[in-house]
A and B are shown apart, each in its own frame.
Chain A
Amino acid sequence: MACNGSGGGCQSGCYKDEETTCGQPTASSETDSKSSSNLCLKCKLNDVVSGYGGIDDGRFCADCFRSNLFGKFRLAVTSNAMISPTDRVLVAFSGGPSSRVALQFVHDMQERAHKNFEASRDRSLPVFGVGVVFIDESVVFPIPSHEMEEAVEAISLIVSSLAPPRKEFHFVPIETVYSSDSSDGKERLLELMNVVSDPTGREDMLLSLRMLALQKVASEFGYNRIVLGSCISRIAAHVISATVKGQGYSLPADIQYVDARWEIPVVLPLRDCFIQEINMFCRLDSLKTVKLSTGPSSSINSLVSSFVALLQEENPSRESTIVRTAGKLIPFQFNRIPEIIDGNVPLATRRRQKRYNLKSNESVSSESFCPLCNSPLDKSEIVDWSNLKNCRSSDTFYTSCCSSCQFQILPPDSTSMEKFYMDLPHSVVARSNQVNNGKLNALRYVFPFLVKEQIQDCLLSDGEDET
């Protein structure tokens, strides 16, 4: 009695199929000889290329692969109203392959829009503007100066070659988050980071600061969208690491196409692309990328990344399964582009946005955010402010942070906490104060008597006396 007959042995059969396609990437340089008989599934003209991972690996030729990948990008952009003709878009470019491809695609899209603009008679539809930003984090993770110089040179060359239309390039050191409060930003940043002892906490702290810097640049130079190159592989790893850090409540906020909890909405148009596809695209089109040397990391983030990469190797749809699972968690109200009310925006644009936007009944509204990482707080993390009236502001700050930040970033003792608080960029402190004031407003919904107190002098008689 066979255990794996021809019909029944489907599981092992399928797995073997995957394995063989999986095996190809390693031998991708020799695919030419091997796949001479394999025609592209789409155009049925050219030979397939393989080695780009995911479920489509080895199905398309180079051209069809390119247009397929760009198609994923464009679908994400149009169906989430990420970029409108009047927008000014800031692409966050780290030099790595994902943000390189994001930059390329945004450029391609802009180029097309530009051509259409030139060709159209009335020139009514403007072309969206594009800028590029590189955040220099060498203060926190030191890099040999010549390496940074070379990187910056390479990056500005990449940006300048993507014209016309011309793109403004912003080279921004991470300590710029202090630029408005003091001149000793570098020192304060270092002091701040030194208080954080947990390696994962340091990485996540830097991530928050990076977003702060991006927001600052975008806001200063009048951009209204920030494009990140986060791909599905990156997002899958984030799903797992956020779960591991106990951030199950706020997790859905980070993994949607749109994240508008910030002053300038952040969009992830490569959310459906695998890192292998992105690498393949860079290889095919010889897109230059820059990799800065980084030391070994012993953080949860890197442990999770290698775990997910390993799973992906074993099953080429694993990462998309992870993201799909997390996609079934309810997103937040800010996970969509805010409706345009501005009458100057063409009606077509507004209509398109309305059509594609998330239905609001499918999302959760959240009023409280962690002042440090800006993740929405769950009920248990929202504290009772009436007990905190006489606390030091650093302690109040500590209590208003999410439990994950409290554990991995904030120092446990009060004195170091005070120091940490002093070294925080002004914008973070301001955010926390705003949160606390917001909390008072929220209280009014719960306790109408607080409202009543405010209008007491205008009331003619006390309601209870009347009866």
Chain B
Amino acid sequence: MEGKRNVRICCLCNERRASLKRPKTLQQICTECFYLAFENEIHQIILSNRLFSRGDRVAIGASGGKDSTVLAYVLSKLNRVHDYGLHLFLLSVDEGITGYRDDSLETVHRNQIQYGLPLKIVSYKDLYGWTMDEIVKLIGLKNNCTFCGVFRRQALDRGAAFLKVDKLVTGHNADDIAETILLNILRGDIARLSRCSSIVTGEDGPIPRCKPFKYTYEKEIVMYAYFKKLDYFSTECIYSPNAYRGFAREFIKDLERIRPRAILDIIKSGENFRISTTTKMHEQGTCERCGYISSQWVLIDDQSSSGDGGGSTRCCSSAWWMFTVTVPEALRSISHVCSGGGQNQEKNKEKGGSLHGCIHGKEDEEMKVVFIDKGKRFSAVQSH
């Protein structure tokens, strides 16, 4: 960082000219050393956390964006160089968003050829019978991200199950994780706070997910993609980026400017938080209908009688959507669904018996309760 102004020789190899300042350490280094340091760090993370075992089938959640593109590139390279013995696949979700996902999937298709990885695309249309475009038409732009996130989580699980993979890796980077830790503190979500900093999650679920980029800075990923001239898609989703998240994002960027190490320090704090075991955690379990893990429950009252009990089935809300209704129909025809949540149920009654179910948010998203009533009104409020 200091000195060597006139020379500018890479401070790692001491041979080549330094052409970049490494965001994480502010060292002035050459691109070759940067590639090496970048890849090596991820290799070390994979080894020290024992993310994979030889022979594993691993799906890479590929959106066509920078993170997943770099992840696919680096992982296939490391697999080759260090002989991990992994079978890699690209797995994409098509939410059905015209002007965004169709374009980004083009990128994934190109990556499939460039990296020689088999690709599987699962679409909302096939899985659930509707596209996000249709949903947005119905519910408007508010809260659709949460909604979409919930279904993407399960779509990825289903795609992974189809590919019969042992693990699913996602491109969440250090900035994402630091941001999630802060957001969970800000909104008081202690249960998620305790989970969000783990490198492997969902070990008790059908397919464990891991984040090899947990300690990798977003800036370095962008830099890597830039110097390697990787082919990625950089447009944001047309259906509103989450404003609240953006706020925390900006704060992280400000911190990084003052102290690059702050991002790693936040993750370290997240790992070191000791959360009281007596703290009430969200109930996690397996849905009675679809078999997927869920932290929020919906009671489906099959007899259409009022209140809880009776012939109701406990299941995760995604299953509720999928098995009981398809969304456009739900708005028209469902007669009665009530949730297991006592407080919400009370509120619900006050509102004149409107229908209501809990959906479980994607791991990093805010929890929402979806209200649906006979008057075909559809909206969401934050719960907990």
Contact = CB atoms under 8 A, between A and B. Distances in A.
A303 B254 contact: yes
Given A8-B373, A328-B275, A303 B255 contact: yes
B241 interface: no
A252 B274 CA distance: 9
Contacts of A298: 258
A248 B264 CA distance: 12
A335 interface: no
A291 B180 CA distance: 37
B19 to A, nearest CB: 26
Contacts of B193: 325
Contacts of A307: 251, 254
Interface string B351-384: 1101000000000000000010101111111100
Contacts of A7: 351-352, 354, 371, 373, 377
B190 interface: yes
A364 B274 contact: yes
Contact of B188 (A2, A242, A321): A321
A11 interface: yes
Interface string A341-370: 000000000000000000000101000000
A329 B269 CA distance: 12
A98 interface: no
Interface in B124-154: 138-140, 142
Nearest to B264: A246
A4 B187 CA distance: 23
Contacts, number: 127
A194 interface: no
Contacts of B352: 7
Interface residues of A toward B: which range? Answer: 35 or more
A247 interface: yes
A367 to B, nearest CB: 16
A378 B255 contact: no
A328 B371 contact: no
Contacts of A9: 379
A322 B185 contact: yes
B6 interface: no
A246 B269 contact: yes
A242 B378 CA distance: 41
Interface centre among B189, B193, B269, B273 (most CB of A within 10 A): B269
Interface in B278-300: 278-279
Given A3-B142, A11-B380, A325-B193, A239 B185 contact: yes
Interface string A311-330: 10000001001101110111
Interface in A1-26: 1-5, 7-11, 14
A192 B160 CA distance: 58
A185 B279 CA distance: 48
Interface string A239-262: 110111111110110000000000
Contact of B274 (A2, A249, A322): A249
Interface residues of B toward A: which range? Answer: 35 or more
A201 to B, nearest CB: 10
B258 A243 contact: no
A407 interface: yes
Contacts of A2: 377
B274 A5 contact: no
A378 B347 CA distance: 44
B204 to A, nearest CB: 22
A9 B139 CA distance: 12
A300 interface: yes
Nearest to A239: B185
A127 B113 CA distance: 83
B168 interface: no
B181 interface: yes
Contacts of A1: 138, 331, 376-378
B274 to A, nearest CB: 5
Contacts of B187: 321
B377 A329 contact: no
Nearest to A10: B381
A300 B186 CA distance: 17
Given A7-B354, A248-B269, A252-B274, A243 B185 contact: yes
A325 B194 CA distance: 11
A294 B356 CA distance: 54
Given A240-B182, A300-B262, A8 B269 contact: no
Given A243-B185, A328-B190, A5 B269 contact: no
B384 to A, nearest CB: 11
A200 interface: yes
A328 B261 CA distance: 26
Nearest to B197: A248
B275 A329 contact: yes
Nearest to A378: B272
B276 interface: yes
Nearest to A5: B377
Contacts of B271: 248
B270 interface: yes
B269 A330 contact: no
B162 to A, nearest CB: 35
B349 to A, nearest CB: 12
Contacts of B261: 407
Which 6 residue pairs across A and B have the least CB separation, nearest first? A248-B269, A8-B379, A246-B265, A3-B140, A248-B272, A5-B377
10 contacts: A1-B377, A4-B142, A5-B379, A8-B354, A248-B273, A321-B186, A325-B184, A325-B186, A325-B193, A378-B272
Given A8-B371, A307-B251, 12 more contacts: A1-B377, A3-B139, A4-B142, A8-B380, A200-B259, A243-B181, A246-B272, A252-B274, A300-B255, A307-B254, A325-B185, A325-B189
Interface of A: 1-5, 7-11, 14, 198, 200, 239-240, 242-249, 251-252, 298-300, 303, 307, 311, 318, 321-322, 324-326, 328-330, 362, 364, 378, 404, 407
